[in-house]
Amino acid sequence: MSLDSAQLNEGRAFDPYGAHRDDPYSFLAGLGEAEPVFYAPLLNAWCVTRREDMVAVLRDDRNFSARDHNPRSSVELPEDVSRMLRTWRGAGALAVGSLDPPEHTRIRDVLNVGFTPARVRAFEPTIREIAAGLAERVAASAEFDFITAFAVPYALEVICRRLGIPAEYLDRLRTWSEQRIELMMLQSSTDPDRLREFARGLMDFGAFARSLAHERLASPQDDLISELLHDGKAGRTLTVDEVAVQIPTLIFAGHMTCAEALGTIFFQQLGSPGGWAEVVDGRITPRDLVEEGLRFDSPLAGMYRTALHDVEVGGVQLAAGSRLLLLYGAVGRDSRVRACPAGFSPGSESSSHLAFGQGIHFCLGAVFARTELEVAIEVLAARMPDLALVPGPPPRHRPVFPLRALSALPVRQSASAEFR
């Protein structure tokens, strides 16, 4: 028998910013099959934990909208900050992840051209060059923070090189991305002037994207932005304004999730009984390690959808306008499809996951991301075969849910390794 939302409105105390920040999975596993869809008052959303329910929602764009798919700040923002947050991309402009058909279909068809397997293969030597150069620099240190010294700068430079953005802008783009996270995921009150600084940063981000798109329209180069403006599928291209809207999302999604996945992969493998040596000597392949990392702790723990009509999900009746959080990360920890879901074991079982989503919003950069992650592992295994965790307490996750980002990951090499 279906349960009405009114019967469940007291909800569950799911707190991915606080009590469940580092380990949301134990809480979710405790609900099990008894309550695969539950209301989380802190998030003001219905959390969906079963794969079949998530896939049904993701494939049903008639009953569910992606327009409001980003997390919301739980703090009331000053009016001028709120206005800038709504308009920094352009008045009424939405990135592809927030679009519904038919507009989504038209934009997505052109964007897909930039991430075909053939385009990714052609760009792979550049990815490898970036990884090798960065690995060479960090290898000079006996001890370093893997997140800030390698994962983030690597992922950011890779996506920016694909877009054709000069290296001189990397620091600014990182700052703008962090300001966007802060404004979207704010959970406690902060200095209004600080929020205004962040919002003005986003306005600069939008202006930068528009300027870059205009430059590539006038003078195309060998990069993704030029391809979107001049070389679209079957002659279809995007306008300057449409391309400018997508640039910040391509930068943000293109580097944040990759850096987060690298953090999880290296933390789990370096801390495993076999350690990094299993990768260096080939007992674990980069591909198996990547897929297990994505299964074990998806870099994007979930995504929001909004019910367009009264609808049933997982046996729960939801009213039109209800906000759903599809918890992709819970799929990888489903005991129905994996014997030991809480164990990190690359290659031992099929690494079923939803890290890239499903349906019409399936991550268009999935092939690109997998290649980027595998190349980083290959290059670091060759250049730093003695990599290990620095002894100490487990690293904490940043309070930026639904992103799953380690705040730091101290690693070290043996004394002899740094002189190779």
Lowest mean pLDDT among 93-97, 139-143, 153-157, 288-292: 93-97
Burial class (CB in 10 A: 0-12, 13-18, 19+), 306: middle
Residue 180 domain-assigned (yes or no): yes
Backbone angles phi, psi at 78, to 5 degrees: -55, 150
Average pLDDT over residues 286-296: 96
pLDDT at 416: 47
> Taking a C-beta distance cutoff of 8 angstroms, is the pair 263, 293 a contact?
no
Backbone angles phi, psi at 325, to 5 degrees: -115, 110
What is the spatial distance between Cα 258 and Cα 17, in angstroms, rounded to a whole number? 21
Residue 22 domain-assigned (yes or no): no
pLDDT at 335: 82
pLDDT tops 50 at residue 65: yes
Please provide the average confidence, as pLDDT, over all residues in the chain: 91
Residues 88-101: tens digit of each pLDDT: 998 777 899 999 99
pLDDT at 348: 77
Average pLDDT over residues 244-267: 96
Structure confidence at residue 187 as a pLDDT band (50, 70, 90): confident
- Taking the CA atoms of 369, 371, 374 and 376 in sequence, report the sign of the dihedral they define: negative
Closest CA to 323 of 51, 28, 18, 71: 71
pLDDT at 232: 67
Tokens of 35: 């309550």
Count: domains in the chain:
1
What is the spatial distance between Cα 243 and Cα 240, in angstroms, rounded to a whole number? 5
How much is the pTM? 0.93
pLDDT at 6: 43
Lowest mean pLDDT among 75-84, 205-214, 288-297: 75-84
What is the spatial distance between Cα 309 and Cα 21, in angstroms, rounded to a whole number? 32
Average pLDDT over residues 1-22: 73
What is the spatial distance between Cα 38 and Cα 23, in angstroms, rounded to a whole number? 18
How distant, in Å, are the alpha carbons of 174, 275, 346, 377 from that of 278?
Answer: 33, 6, 10, 12
pLDDT at 31: 83
Residue 319 domain-assigned (yes or no): no
What is the spatial distance between Cα 255 and Cα 239, in angstroms, rounded to a whole number? 24
* Chain position carrying tokens 């052609």: 122
What is the spatial distance between Cα 361 and Cα 392, in angstroms, rounded to a whole number? 40
Residue 330 domain-assigned (yes or no): no
pLDDT tops 50 at residue 398: yes
How distant, in Å, are the alpha carbons of 103, 137, 150, 237 from that of 110?
Answer: 12, 37, 31, 6
pLDDT tops 60 at residue 3: no
Average pLDDT over residues 160-187: 92
Residues listed for the chain: 420
What is the spatial distance between Cα 397 and Cα 388, in angstroms, rounded to a whole number? 19
pLDDT tops 60 at residue 279: yes
Lowest mean pLDDT among 8-17, 51-60, 82-91, 387-396: 8-17
Structure confidence at residue 1 as a pLDDT band (50, 70, 90): very low
Higher pLDDT, 233 or 179: 179
- As beta bridge partners, residue 143 has 412
CATH of the domain at 183: 1.10.630.10
What is the spatial distance between Cα 65 and Cα 62, in angstroms, rounded to a whole number? 8
Average pLDDT over residues 195-212: 96
Q: Range of 367's domain?
A: 70-302+343-419
pLDDT at 184: 86
What is the spatial distance between Cα 128 and Cα 48, in angstroms, rounded to a whole number? 38
Residues 47-58: tens digit of each pLDDT: 999 999 999 999
pLDDT tops 70 at residue 34: yes
Average pLDDT over residues 13-41: 91
Average pLDDT over residues 109-124: 94
List strand residue ranges (DSSP E) for 14-84, in order.
Answer: 37-40, 45-48, 64-65
Residues 6+ apart with CB under 8 A from 378: 286
What is the spatial distance between Cα 356 and Cα 329, in angstroms, rounded to a whole number? 10
Average pLDDT over residues 396-402: 93
What is the spatial distance between Cα 197 and Cα 84, in angstroms, rounded to a whole number? 11
In this structure, the number of other CB atoms found within 10 A of the CB of residue 139 comes to: 19
Residue 314 domain-assigned (yes or no): no
pLDDT at 105: 93
Residue 24 domain-assigned (yes or no): no
Residues 306-358: tens digit of each pLDDT: 999 999 999 999 999 999 999 999 999 988 877 788 899 998 776 689 999 99
What is the share, in percent, of the chain residues with pLDDT greater than 70?
95
Average pLDDT over residues 7-30: 86
Closest CA to 226 of 121, 97, 113: 113
Closest CA to 253 of 169, 181, 330: 181
What is the spatial distance between Cα 81 and Cα 85, in angstroms, rounded to a whole number? 6
Average pLDDT over residues 1-10: 49
In this structure, the number of other CB atoms found within 10 A of the CB of residue 225 comes to: 27
pLDDT tops 50 at residue 186: yes
SS3 state of residue 283: coil
Residue 272 domain-assigned (yes or no): yes
Tokens of 275: 């350690």
Residue 335 domain-assigned (yes or no): no
The DSSP output letter for 118 is H
